[in-house]
Structure 1
Amino acid sequence: MFGSTREEVSGTADPAISDTPDGRGGPGELPRGVRLYRLRADGSVVLADRDGARDLGPERDLLRFIDDGQFAHYLVGDAATSPERPSNATVKLGIVGPRSAFTPHAHGGEHFVLSLGYAACGLYDSERGKVTEVPLAPGGLIRIPEMMPHSFANRDTTPLTILAANTGYGIDHEDYAITAPEAERRAAGPPHGATTAPPGARTGTLARAGYLELAAALRDIERVQEVRGPGVTTVRERLAARLRRVAQGLEDRR
């Protein structure tokens, strides 16, 4: 990948991103600000967003990493992160039960989730006023912007392991995961954590109207979740899962 020309890097699309179950969740359907990553077995990485899909390339996406010929792509923080300029991030593993989904919520900070199984992410697209479902396969990494209503589901019949990274908040913080009931509670009383609440302020000082809009979007995701459930795996995905287990068994015997 790193030896490719600029034309080759910028013009590459990944069928694994655009060819999703039921034709939903291709690059053109992603809400603005959402990025979908595909980590390939050959070491290359494909990035998809509203504008399409491309291989990550040294010219625009990667930084020099210690030595010439080595590259890094920052997900949390940046090259200037230090004890004097911390990113205040949390990174964790999660186990999601078979064919189950989290309660729809929004995080006070941006959120990255790496799926190691067959998942689905329901996202509320405020520009289009609808819920977008993005199916994920093993190796799919999705970025969810700050305060975007979403839910994460396990489409498979076995437990799902994920790697989650959040900026700014740990799970004990009151703004880590704001659900519809919590948004409605905040909208009903004084602006949470402040006596004044200008529109567009961060989550702790959202105006009442902002919390009402957030609650309505989360309720929309709940309704979609009730109708469609967590989703299912396709025949190809079930076959791939079997092959992956066989491959893992062979690798474990090395």
Structure 2
Amino acid sequence: MAARPYDRTPGPHEIPETLPDHAGRGLPGGVELYLLGPDGGIVLADREGTRELGPERDFLRFIDDGQFAHYLVGDAATSPERPSNATVKLGVVSPRSAFTPHAHGGEHFVLSLGHAACGLYDPDRGRVNEVRLAPGMLIRIPEMMPHSFANRGDAPLTILAANTGYGIDHEDYAITAAEAERRASAGLVRTGLVGHGAPAVVTAAATSTSTSTSTDYQVLAAALRDIERAQRVHGIAGTTVRERLAARLRRAATALEVRR
């Protein structure tokens, strides 16, 4: 089997994440069972057998080199013109790494299964705010809010990410500072309707049920550059002693709960 995209040799007290070969036995056709391991591995079982997801056929590039995604709903080509209403995908974030700061054209939900952090630009206060996430915490990020997701741990991090309306191939899936600056210099304008809670990087005229917006790409680019500067100055936050102990206990619990 090809090496995992985040290939790493398990430590002496770690058990590689796996499901028993018979895990899919008795499942109806089309039903899939996933094990999202505490060390970033993803194992799939169905009635055909059990296998670990690997880079050659299971993963797509996820915004940056070294980050990976596996779609569960929708696909990379999802867009308002080719809708699936939302995309849902498993993501694997490399150890001690962060995504290039960006903003999504649609609403964004991320469930972290490890120790993560999300740098968010707060337009009301004009500053970058870091939200630290523990396993099991889910964060909702409104449309066009500048942010960057990071893995604070030393092992690959599995996340479950859902986006409304956009796949990673769409030009508005992840708008970086460089892209926002290009659009600003070209005089481009993005308009649309978003719900209440839209960030201040868009100019809004409120209605009773929604907000009509026009994106100021120059303002968006400046906010994204602020997140980049915060990453350079402060780096990626680490894990605490308690979090590292909890991670070891979580691996032990997984080994006990998932019988071989």
Shorter-normalised TM-score: what interval?
Answer: 0.5 to 0.7
Question: What residue in structure 1 maps to residue 238 of structure 2?
Answer: 232
- In the alignment, the residues of structure 2 paired with residue 206 and residue 91 of structure 1 have an alpha-carbon distance, to the nearest angstrom, of 27
Deviation per CA, 1:175-199: give whole Å up to 9, x if none: 00000000000000131579xxx94
Partner letter of residue 235 of structure 1? Answer: V
1:246 aligns with 2:252: yes
**1:172 alignment partner, one of 157, 164, 169:** 169
- List aligned pairs for 1:53-132, cutoff 5 A: 88-132=85-129
So what's the TM-score if we normalise by structure 1?
0.60
**1:154 alignment partner, one of 132, 151, 154:** 151
| Residue 149 of structure 1, CA deviation | 0.2
**2:184 alignment partner, one of 179, 187, 199:** 187
Contact 2:189 2:217 in 1 (8 A): no
- The residue matched to 1:238 in structure 2 has which SS? helix
- The residue matched to 1:112 in structure 2 has which SS? strand
Contact 1:121 1:152 in 2 (8 A): yes
- The residue matched to 2:121 in structure 1 has which SS? strand
- The residue matched to 2:172 in structure 1 has which SS? coil
Partner letter of residue 123 of structure 2? Answer: S
Deviation per CA, 1:132-151: give whole Å up to 9, x if none: 10000110100000000000
- The residue matched to 1:114 in structure 2 has which SS? strand
- In the alignment, the residues of structure 2 paired with residue 234 and residue 105 of structure 1 have an alpha-carbon distance, to the nearest angstrom, of 27
Higher strand share: 2
Question: What residue in structure 1 maps to residue 76 of structure 2?
Answer: none
| Residue 110 of structure 1, CA deviation | 0.6
Aligned sequence identity (%): 76
| Residue 241 of structure 1, CA deviation | 0.4
Partner letter of residue 127 of structure 1? Answer: D
| Residue 206 of structure 1, CA deviation | 3.9
Contact 2:98 2:148 in 1 (8 A): yes
- The residue matched to 1:173 in structure 2 has which SS? coil
- In the alignment, the residues of structure 2 paired with residue 193 and residue 219 of structure 1 have an alpha-carbon distance, to the nearest angstrom, of 20
**How many equivalent residue pairs?**
162
So what's the TM-score if we normalise by structure 2?
0.59
Contact 1:191 1:206 in 2 (8 A): no
- List aligned pairs for 1:23-34, cutoff 5 A: none
Question: What residue in structure 2 maps to residue 48 of structure 1?
Answer: none
Contact 2:190 2:214 in 1 (8 A): no
- In the alignment, the residues of structure 2 paired with residue 193 and residue 239 of structure 1 have an alpha-carbon distance, to the nearest angstrom, of 46
| Residue 253 of structure 1, CA deviation | 2.6
Question: What residue in structure 1 maps to residue 74 of structure 2?
Answer: none
- In the alignment, the residues of structure 1 paired with residue 236 and residue 171 of structure 2 have an alpha-carbon distance, to the nearest angstrom, of 26
- In the alignment, the residues of structure 2 paired with residue 167 and residue 206 of structure 1 have an alpha-carbon distance, to the nearest angstrom, of 19
Runs of 4+ residues deviating >6 angstroms: none
Aligned CA RMSD, in angstroms, stands at 2.2
| Residue 252 of structure 1, CA deviation | 1.6
Question: What residue in structure 1 maps to residue 218 of structure 2?
Answer: 212
- In the alignment, the residues of structure 2 paired with residue 115 and residue 168 of structure 1 have an alpha-carbon distance, to the nearest angstrom, of 21
- List aligned pairs for 1:25-44, cutoff 5 A: none
| Residue 87 of structure 1, CA deviation | 7.0
Contact 1:98 1:160 in 2 (8 A): yes
- In the alignment, the residues of structure 2 paired with residue 129 and residue 199 of structure 1 have an alpha-carbon distance, to the nearest angstrom, of 15
- In the alignment, the residues of structure 2 paired with residue 87 and residue 112 of structure 1 have an alpha-carbon distance, to the nearest angstrom, of 16
- In the alignment, the residues of structure 2 paired with residue 177 and residue 253 of structure 1 have an alpha-carbon distance, to the nearest angstrom, of 40
| Residue 227 of structure 1, CA deviation | 1.4
